């Protein structure tokens, strides 16, 4: 017997596994599939769905594979007549609480329920649907359809602000957005959604989706029909994840293919949001250098994650002055297009329809912020998530796997490596530090790789030495709101603990965003991240301030502070709770 290992027998196959593993984990590692719906490697085990029941020799009743820990000599049967029959009826009970709306579902290409239905010969309509009349609600860009919900509670657990709550008892149980009103006496806090969409990517049955996820994706083409010029920008994280929807390996880079696909869909120009990320970096680094030199408000927080900004605006308005005033790359690109680019190609900016492709659901919310308008125009007219673009490609028979890659358009088609790593947790920090160093020291870092802020840990910290000022800049990076709150707690106790902080609401940053392809777990997110670091490493230019487009445009176009301010900067205000709207059906979401 090896230390730390035990021998178990699964379906007559003898395998050696780690002592602390559950049957589910051990099976998964050895390529044996045990069905499961409420099981998600990101989450605690709840054992609610009862699909992973297996027979263990010597026990009276079947055991849940997600809870039972392996033991030496354990004999496990994951299938067989008895267990399959029980699973079949368990599934039929689940189907009877899940209204089928398969053509309009985020899992339409890889639905687990349908897969199991086939495997266990399920009669999907054995019992009448019992949730037909349940409410469908929309809050911001998120639509929650209780008629599909199987009460597994993954969303309740994953929600970073506990906005989704379990209501009622027994068969009347339901998950609802929080309607709690603040009450100091009862210690009740009002809660609001921050639109991160983690509930969407952790719901096993597609009960939650983005507003208009299937119904409104074609809107940009209507604009084109009305004579608009269609311009696309796509975010860094899209390039290392969209391939998944077309059977490509996790982390495969598809920048050129996405570009080609977008042109085929009818886009006249395709640009890279990583380039506007370079603008963000330079602007933000200047702001940070200024705050440090002039004794401004520190720590400074990044603001490119709209969920994080919403969090501060709703939950921590005391921290509003700490947010950088620099706009996010998505918005800066929109602004550049409607000013500099429109002038360059000599068209009225109102003729441009700017569509961004984002790994994020909150970006939809960000794009509708009125304070971002430039000459009464929204910088970005329409936001598609990575998932929505994938579905559009499929609908229009564009196969990313076979399409020939094409080059992005000028002038915003050549990002620095720093702009590309914006898509992963720590990337904004690393990009900014490379430029801050230059701004403060007048020379570039010898090695651009800042390993301490890379990787999948929830909180990453480092001390950046700035020799010229004889000063150390203390920085921290958090991914996921739980980690963000930990950092905030440190700050509440010691406001000068850090000088600069990057926060992303989603695990691993934007690669783990709520608009990304399904399924997702830590391994998948890591591969998407690594691909971005690979691109950065292979880039000729790795520093935002060395990107010639950025320097040229900043120097020669944005000659007045007013113009620069209208495109690059913004402000924040305390926000009231988002209205919860009741919908008649999930296809009627309000944009």
CA atoms lying within 13 Å on the CB side of residue 409: 18
Q: Which is nearer to other proteins, 62 or 415 (CB)?
A: 62
Kindly tell me the burial class for residue 411, based on how many C-beta atoms sit within 10 Å of its own C-beta (0-12, 13-18, 19 or more). Answer: middle
CB of 33 to other proteins, least distance (A): 19
- Please identify which residue in 26, 27, 32, 62 interacts with other proteins, judged by CB under 8 A: 62
The answer to the question of residue 226 lying near other proteins (CB under 8 A) is no
The answer to the question of residue 80 lying near other proteins (CB under 8 A) is no
Residues touching other proteins, count (CB under 8 A): 30
Which backbone phi and psi does 445 adopt, to 5 degrees?
-60, 145
Q: Which of these, 91, 92, 102, 172, lies nearest to 135 by C-alpha position?
A: 172
Q: Which of these, 539, 528, 535, 536, lies nearest to 242 by C-alpha position?
A: 528
Can you read off the two tokens belonging to residue 44? 């605690």
Listed in sequence order, the residues at least 6 apart from 376 whose beta carbon sits closer than 8 Å to its beta carbon are none
Spatial separation of the C-alpha atoms in residues 161 and 167, rounded to whole Å: 17
Q: Which is nearer to other proteins, 13 or 57 (CB)?
A: 57
- Please identify which residue in 2, 169, 397, 582 interacts with other proteins, judged by CB under 8 A: 169
Q: Which of these, 363, 288, 356, 278, lies nearest to 323 by C-alpha position?
A: 288
CB of 124 to other proteins, least distance (A): 14
- Please identify which residue in 151, 192, 283, 536 interacts with other proteins, judged by CB under 8 A: 151
CB 586 within 8 A of CB 101: yes
Q: Which is nearer to other proteins, 90 or 547 (CB)?
A: 90
Q: What are the CB-based long-range contacts (under 8 Å, 24+) for 463-468? A: 464/433, 464/436, 464/437, 466/437, 466/440, 466/441, 467/441, 468/440, 468/441, 468/442
Q: Which is nearer to other proteins, 16 or 173 (CB)?
A: 173
- Contact positions with other proteins (CB under 8 A) in 36-55: 45-50, 53
The answer to the question of residue 569 lying near other proteins (CB under 8 A) is no
The answer to the question of residue 166 lying near other proteins (CB under 8 A) is yes
The answer to the question of residue 67 lying near other proteins (CB under 8 A) is yes
CB of 170 to other proteins, least distance (A): 5
Region from 84-92, 255-263, 421-429, 561-569 binding other proteins, contact rule CB under 8 A: 84-92
Can you read off the two tokens belonging to residue 377? 């125009």
Spatial separation of the C-alpha atoms in residues 557 and 572, rounded to whole Å: 26
ω into residue 155 within 30 of 0, thus cis?
Answer: no
The answer to the question of residue 130 lying near other proteins (CB under 8 A) is yes
The answer to the question of residue 188 lying near other proteins (CB under 8 A) is no
CB of 169 to other proteins, least distance (A): 6
Spatial separation of the C-alpha atoms in residues 421 and 455, rounded to whole Å: 12
Q: Which is nearer to other proteins, 93 or 114 (CB)?
A: 93
- Please identify which residue in 127, 290, 482, 522 interacts with other proteins, judged by CB under 8 A: 127
> Using CB under 8 A as the criterion, which residues of the chain lie in contact with other proteins when the complex forms?
45-50, 53, 61-62, 67, 85-86, 89-90, 93-94, 96-97, 126-127, 130, 150-151, 166, 168-173
């Amino acid at each position: 017997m090896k230390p730390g290992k035990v021998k178990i027998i699964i379906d007559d196959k003898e395998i050696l596994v780690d002592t602390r593993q559950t049957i589910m984990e051990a099976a998964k590692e050895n390529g044996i599939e045990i069905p499961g719906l409420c099981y998600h490697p990101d989450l605690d085990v709840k054992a609610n769905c009862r699909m992973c029941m297996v027979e263990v020799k010597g026990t009276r009743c079947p055991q849940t594979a997600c809870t039972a820990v392996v033991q030496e000599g354990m004999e496990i049967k994951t299938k067989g007549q008895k267990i399959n029959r029980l699973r079949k009826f368990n599934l039929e009970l689940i189907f009877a609480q899940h209204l089928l709306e398969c053509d309009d579902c985020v899992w339409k290409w890889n639905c687990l329920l349908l897969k199991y239905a086939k495997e266990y010969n399920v009669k999907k309509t054995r019992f009448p649907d019992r949730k037909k009349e349940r409410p469908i609600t929309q809050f911001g860009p998120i639509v929650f359809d209780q008629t599909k919900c199987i009460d597994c509670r993954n969303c309740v657990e994953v929600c970073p602000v506990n906005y989704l709550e379990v209501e009622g008892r027994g068969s009347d149980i339901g998950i609802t957005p929080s309607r709690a009103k603040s009450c100091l006496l009862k210690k009740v806090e009002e809660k609001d959604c921050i639109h991160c969409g983690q509930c969407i990517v952790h719901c096993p049955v597609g009960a939650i989706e983005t507003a208009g996820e299937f119904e409104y994706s074609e809107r940009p083409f209507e604009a084109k029909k009305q004579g608009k010029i269609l311009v696309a920008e796509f975010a860094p994280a899209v390039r290392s994840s969209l391939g998944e929807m077309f059977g490509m390996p996790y982390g495969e880079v598809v920048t050129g293919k996405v570009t080609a696909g977008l042109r085929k869909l009818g886009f006249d120009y395709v640009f890279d949001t990583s380039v506007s990320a370079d603008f963000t970096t330079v602007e933000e680094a200047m702001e940070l250098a200024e705050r440090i030199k002039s004794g401004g408000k520190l720590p400074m927080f990044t603001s490119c994650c709209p969920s994080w900004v919403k969090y501060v605006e709703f939950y921590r308005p005391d921290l509003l002055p700490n947010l950088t005033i620099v706009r996010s790359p998505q918005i800066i690109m929109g602004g550049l297009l409607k000013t500099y680019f429109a002038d360059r190609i000599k068209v009225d900016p109102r003729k441009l329809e700017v569509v961004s492709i984002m790994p994020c659901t909150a970006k939809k919310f960000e794009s509708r912020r009125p304070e971002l308008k430039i000459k009464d125009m929204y910088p970005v007219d329409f936001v598609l998530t990575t998932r929505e673009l994938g579905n559009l490609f499929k609908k229009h028979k564009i196969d990313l796997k076979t399409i020939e890659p094409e080059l992005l358009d000028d002038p915003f088609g050549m990002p620095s490596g720093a702009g590309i790593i914006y898509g992963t947790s720590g990337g904004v920090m690393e990009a900014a530090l490379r430029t801050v160093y230059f701004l403060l020291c007048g020379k570039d870092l010898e090695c651009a790789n800042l390993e301490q802020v890379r990787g999948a840990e929830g909180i990453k910290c480092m001390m950046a030495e700035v020799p010229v000022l004889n000063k150390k800049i203390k920085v921290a990076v958090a991914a996921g709101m739980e980690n963000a709150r930990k950092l905030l707690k440190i700050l509440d106790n010691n406001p000068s603990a850090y000088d600069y902080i990057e926060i992303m609401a989603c695990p691993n940053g934007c690669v783990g965003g709520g608009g990304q392809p399904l399924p997702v777990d830590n391994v998948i997110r890591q591969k998407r991240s690594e691909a971005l670091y690979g691109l950065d490493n292979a880039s000729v230019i790795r520093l935002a301030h060395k990107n010639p487009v950025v320097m040229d445009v900043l120097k020669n176009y944005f000659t007045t502070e007013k113009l620069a301010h209208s495109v690059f900067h913004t402000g924040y205000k305390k926000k009231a709770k988002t209205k919860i709207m009741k919908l008649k059906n999930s296809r009627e979401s309000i944009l």
